[in-house]
Copies of this chain bind each other. A is one copy, B any other.
Amino acid sequence: MISRSSGLSLYRQVADAIRQQILSGELAPGSLLPSEKYLAEEHDVGRDTIRDAMAHLRGEGLVESKRGYRSRVRALVPRERIWLHPGEIVTARMPTPAEKKEHGIHEGVPVLVVGDKAYPADRYEFGRE
């Protein structure tokens, strides 16, 4: 339930509520969220507040949004494993716009970087044998 006197911002409270539903499995991977308009009325806040909450959930990689369609809970796909060669270093960062477009990377999905190659972190993992 949204409280206007809890000290926590409304969009965070909404984001927390939806995140909890996702992590608990109440909202299954791949399932559609209610529309922003519905959520705004349900929680009795403005649509902009819902959009703020959705933007944060997208940034966490929990949901994906597409114009003209309701937002969807992101579904996890099995990651392809790549074995590191001796001397290789792996780190991570957010993708550049060019990398997002090139690999079709969703919001809230980082890339793993090895050398000068970037691998979408929702589809790859690196291991040492």
Q: Interface residues, chain A, CB within 8 Å of chain B?
A: 16, 19, 55, 59-61, 79, 81, 84-97, 107-112, 121-122, 124-129
**8 nearest A-B residue pairs (beta carbon):** A110-B110, A92-B92, A91-B125, A92-B121, A84-B128, A89-B127, A92-B110, A61-B94
Q: List 8 A-B contacts (CB under 8 A).
A: A59-B94, A86-B129, A87-B127, A90-B127, A91-B125, A93-B109, A93-B110, A93-B121
Checking B59, B88, B92 against A59 with a beta-carbon cut-off of 8 angstroms, the contacting residue is: B59
Residues of B within 8 A of A107 (CB): 59
- Number of identical monomers bound together in the oligomeric complex: 2
A112 near B91: Cβ-Cβ < 8 Å? yes
- Which of chain B's residues has its CB closest to A16's CB? B97
Most buried by B among A55, A88, A92, A95: A92
Residues of B within 8 A of A79 (CB): 91
Question: With A and B bound together, what is the CA distance between A60 and B81 in angstroms?
Answer: 25
B81 near A94: Cβ-Cβ < 8 Å? no
